[in-house]
A and B are shown apart, each in its own frame.
Chain A
Amino acid sequence: MARDRGSAETYAGPVRRLLTGVVLVVLIGLFLLWRIDSPRAERLRAEVVDAVVPSLDWAMVPVSKAARMIENARSYARIHEQNQELRRELRQMSAWREAALQLEQQNAKLLDLNNVRIDPKLTFVTGVVLADSGSPFRQSALLNVGARDGIRDGWATTDGLGLVGRISGVGRNSSRVLLLTDPESRVPVTIQPSGQDAVLSGDNTRLPLIDFVEVPEAVKPGDRVISSGDGGVFPAGLLVGQVAVGPDGRQRLRLAADYERLEFLRVLRSSPRETIRAPGHLIAPETPPLAEATDG
């Protein structure tokens, strides 16, 4: 043993120990920086991800496509059953479609009579899911659209039917969607028809929790849940899902979006609305020189 220690490694001992110390201090320092100034560190993360993942697309796409094909092939086994089920559902849907058309016409007429102006139509950018979070404890998806396509932090993301999450972290060519099931996701929602406001908080299970309901008795399983637009980040009225009761007896949400096959996601462009700060002020697009002049 003593002879082993007497070899070349010993001379490098102090240098090696110093190097180890420096590396550890740098890494822990980075962790502290992340804890103190999370947005800046997350921007660094977004940039690293942006540099690495899209450039390795060629390796990942064939594998994930193959995996999806295997999964699809498995579902062919019960294709007859599925076909029957779909026919049944289609019959129900056509009845609903009829009802929806009538309601839409009625609604348009009523809105016209009242001269109501609803939110301007939302436009969207569609992105392909490149990667997921890679960790079983976090739920997010990486899209192939980023700052280059005008994506901004906080925008809502849907799968065409229901809300999926919001943008959290934008790189040049990629952006990360924080899914509603992520432990850090909090989204203000409204429960219809009782009209109660609640907060939808993810907890890394398939059914996120419905929190802060004022009168929980008024909420029944099956009630529709839509985004409320509180906080001004999300557009109001996006379908999120239905109330369900979880195995633990708490009110949870069955998501309308199909989380099992998220391949393409729509990012909804939302522009910040004018805010009314005080009565009697002019609501107009601010012009910088004018604003400075009034301030000074």
Chain B
Amino acid sequence: MGDAATFRLWAFRALFLAALLAIVLALLLPIRLEAGRLPGPDLVLALTIAWAMRQPDHVPILLLAGAMLVADLLLMRPPGLMAALVVAAVEVIRAREYQWRDLPLPLEWLVGAALIGGVLILNALVLAIFLVPQASLGQMLIRLILTAAVYPVAALGVRYVFRVPRRVGEGELGGRT
């Protein structure tokens, strides 16, 4: 049982990484270089939170930290800060895994939106404390709202497009120990 299960686990981890990479590359496409567009939702953040809510085992901490750090570097964000906040958010999900795993989608949306809001607001606060120049408040609010709004889409995508299974049942868990 171990081998097949391990293989599936790593396949899903690879799928997660591939999805993140695809989003980042899509963002990097040099199609529109004009300034002054409306900021879009932070898809990387929404997908990560949604995936971790569904199955935290697929986003192990070191993998996540590495991926987020590379995303920070590629997307011209201050390196490390966003990565640390996302890792913290996913660890919060991991700690509450047993309370949150059977939430219906509307409630899961609430929790996810709260986590997304926490990450983005903390990010802005820390940047303000360290006097890093950042975008205007209005633009950041738009981004926050759009990211929270796109969360259910990410959650449904994780369920039905990537077909991420829910955490294995308790009997199997007992068997694995």
Q: Is the CB of B83 within 8 A of A27?
A: yes
Q: Which residues of A contact B73 (CB under 8 A)?
A: 44-45, 48-49
Q: Is the CB of B35 within 8 A of A202?
A: yes
A35 at the B interface (CB under 8 A): yes
A41 at the B interface (CB under 8 A): yes
Bound complex: CA A186 to CA B92 (Å):
41
Residue of B nearest to A1 (CB): B98
* Number of A residues, CB within 8 Å of B: 61
B76 at the A interface (CB under 8 A): yes
B174 at the A interface (CB under 8 A): yes
A122 at the B interface (CB under 8 A): no
Q: Is the CB of B39 within 8 A of A205?
A: no
- Find the residue from B33, B132, B170 having the highest chain A CB count within 10 A: B33
B29 at the A interface (CB under 8 A): yes
Quick check: which of A4-12, A146-154, A189-197, A268-276 contacts chain B, the rest being far away? A4-12
Bound complex: CA A1 to CA B96 (Å):
11
Distance in angstroms from B54 CB to nearest chain A CB is 17
Given A5-B98, A8-B173, does the pair A31, B84 have CB atoms closer than 8 Å? yes
Q: In chain A between 49 and 66, which residues have their CB closer than 8 angstroms to a CB of chain B?
A: 49, 52-53, 56, 59-60, 63-64
Q: Is the CB of B80 within 8 A of A27?
A: yes
* Number of B residues, CB within 8 Å of A: 52
Bound complex: CA A140 to CA B76 (Å):
9
The A interface is mostly helix, strand or loop, or mixed, namely helix
Interface string of A60-74 (1 = CB under 8 A from B): 100110011001000
Given A48-B70, A67-B29, does the pair A31, B36 have CB atoms closer than 8 Å? no
Residue of A nearest to B68 (CB): A27
B62 at the A interface (CB under 8 A): yes
Q: Which residues of A contact B83 (CB under 8 A)?
A: 27
Quick check: which of A17-25, A90-98, A218-226, A285-293 contacts chain B, the rest being far away? A17-25
Task: List 10 A-B residue pairs with CB atoms under 8 Å apart, sorted by A's residue number.
Answer: A16-B61, A24-B87, A30-B80, A41-B79, A49-B73, A59-B25, A136-B139, A182-B35, A205-B35, A206-B36
Residues of chain A at the chain B interface (Cβ within 8 Å) = 1, 3-5, 7-8, 16, 19-20, 23-24, 26-31, 34-35, 41, 44-45, 48-49, 52-53, 56, 59-60, 63-64, 67-68, 71, 129-142, 179, 181-184, 202, 204-206, 259-260, 262-263
